[in-house]
Amino acid sequence: MLSIWGILAPMNAPRTARERARAELTAEITDAARRQLADVGPTDLSLRAIARDLGMASSAIYRYFASRDALLTALIVDAYDSLGEAVEAAEALVDRGDHLGRWMTATRAARAWALDHRHEYSLIYGSPVPGYAAPTDTIDPAGRVGLVVAAILADAAEAGVLGMVAGPQPVDGLIEPGVVDQLGADPAHAAAGVQAWTWLFGAISFELFGHYNNVVVDPDEWFDDAMARLAHLAGLTA
Amino acid sequence: MLSIWGILAPMNAPRTARERARAELTAEITDAARRQLADVGPTDLSLRAIARDLGMASSAIYRYFASRDALLTALIVDAYDSLGEAVEAAEALVDRGDHLGRWMTATRAARAWALDHRHEYSLIYGSPVPGYAAPTDTIDPAGRVGLVVAAILADAAEAGVLGMVAGPQPVDGLIEPGVVDQLGADPAHAAAGVQAWTWLFGAISFELFGHYNNVVVDPDEWFDDAMARLAHLAGLTA
DNA sequence: TCTCGAACGAGAGCACCGCTCTCCCTTTCT
DNA sequence: AGAAAGGGAGAGCGGTGCTCTCGTTCGAGA
């Protein structure tokens, strides 16, 4: 039943001119915001400047976003998606059996994305924006990088190449059961995975926010070295 | 030569009434700022509100701080010192020979301080404030927690109870030589120490900024467990 | 096809912000 | 005592997020 009607007006897509214009303008606003975010940082992001950039009245923006925070939230979701996509795309190119290689590639991709999108990164992994009360919209996209890590660990476990967690074994019940399921591994490896995930973004944040100044010599080398050791911690050796 | 003159006007202290008043007012301003910071977050910290709180004209603040960023920088230094002091004080109470205990106590103190001073924490470990270009004043106080970690590792090394770094050995030259010296250990343990330090604040940030929501069951337990495993990574087992 | 309501853009305006400048008084130094 | 520096208050500038009102335009139902 793929009628011409269906093609001209596909389901779940804007049908009227007004709806199409609305969708386009919404995208244009977020685009302009992202563009502005490239050189000013979340705090200085100005609704009026975005409006000027688009040649419209600042009040008109409020037809599309209830507030500056709402716009920021949209950008946060986009940023999570952009980061997730970058990591997924890079990791997908690696031989499925090379679990350590997949881990290194995924983490390098995350760091590279962060360095290329500093302000977007600090939007999602810096301090939360003032009034922002972690809307549920962000929960899903936030998990994408975690899911990649999960898949790598799960595949390694299935292949039987997941070694013991290094050091004292994590006690059970630390990680939410649902997350453990997603990780497809035992609780100990789930904990190690979350620990690795924490360190990944901790290290990126430290580098981006300047805490490694006068401490780390070569950030590239440091990151790779630490990531390899971290993989070992999680039992990922091949 | 401790003359009455010297007692009335000790060296390096405000001598005139004007200088004393200046020092007091400067402190009052930072106090008011810190008070405001307790419930609004760095971005919303308002110079005018501070002035209102102190019953003075907003323009008068500029006699004491060149700009809002300058005030923020002062708060950053204070926050680093406050955190450093809290960690040092807690760690000092532990038996010097109990290196693992010192590590656990120090890291727990850091987390406790962060939970008690959320906005001050995000001021120093969240995304850098907009125009802020990490003034050199902040370098020294920022290292205090690192120095505590350093001392623990160095003492353990001296006592001969510092085990091997877990997993693949870090390559040399990752960490600035000066920092390695401070850590009083070999480059491998220095790298592991920096890695542990990174994870410490990465985990605190993740908890504070909400990234552990729906992932970690009990943050207290999680923190302790991970910290113990991390100590093992750095070779700290006793 | 016409009509009426919803969507929309523009503009003025409010309260707030950081910051500057000027004016005037007080304190300190010479 | 006089000059110079320090410090407070107030007005004001350009900016912000956000609201409200007022026309216009679009689109769906009669």
- Summarised one tens digit per residue, pLDDT across range A28-84 is 999 999 999 998 999 999 999 999 999 999 999 999 999 999 999 999 999 999 999
User: How far is residue B64 from each of residues A130, A220, B54, B80, B138, measured CA to CA in Å?
Assistant: 27, 42, 13, 21, 19
Kindly tell me if the per-residue pLDDT of A25 is higher than 60: yes
Minimum-distance nucleotide, CA of A16 to C1': D27
Nearest CA in chain B to A173: B217
For B122, residues 6+ apart whose C-beta sits below 8 A from its C-beta are: A127, A128, B41, B42, B208, B209
Give the closest-approach CA distance of A48 to chain B in angstroms.
18
Task: Verify whether the Cβ–Cβ distance B233 to A229 is below 8 Å.
Answer: yes
> pLDDT value at position A170?
87
Helix (H), strand (E) counts: chain B: 12, 0
A234: nearest Cα among B226, B235, B172:
B226
Higher pLDDT, A234 or A54: A54
Q: Is B233's CB within 8 Å of A167's CB? A: yes
DSSP state letters, B124-182 = HHSSPPTT----GGGHHHHTHHHHHHHHHHHHHHHTT-B-PPSSSPPPTTSB-HHHHHH
What does the pLDDT read at residue B161?
Answer: 86
Statement: residue A4 has pLDDT above 80: no
pLDDT for position A123: 93
From the DSSP assignment, how many helices (H) and strands (E) are in chain A?
A: 12, 0
Q: According to the model, what pLDDT value does residue B122 have?
A: 94
pLDDT band of residue A139 (cuts 50, 70, 90) is low
The shortest C-alpha distance from B167 to chain A (Å) reads 6
Q: How far is the CA of A64 from the C1' of C12 (A)?
A: 21
From A170, A210, A217, residue closest to B173, measured CB to CB: A217
List, in order, residues 6 or more apart from A69 with CB less than 8 Å away: A129, A130, A131, A132
Residue nearest to nucleotide D9 (CA to C1'): B57
Q: What is the mean pLDDT of residues A175-189?
A: 84
DSSP A3-15: -HHHHHS-TTS--
Give the C-alpha separation, B78 to B137, whole Å: 11
Q: What is the pLDDT of residue A102?
A: 97
* Weakly modelled stretches of chain B, pLDDT under 70: 1-14, 129-136, 238
Give A98-126 pLDDT, tens digit per residue.
Answer: 999 999 999 999 999 999 999 999 999 99
Structure tokens at B11: 């060296």
Token pair listed for B81: 């010192």
pLDDT at B30: 97
- Is the separation of the CB atoms in B153 and B231 below 8 Å? no
What value does the mean pLDDT of chain A take? 87
Rounded Cα distance between B58 and B36, Å, is 15
A43 touches strand C (CB under 7 A): no
Q: Which two tokens stand for residue B139?
A: 């370098």
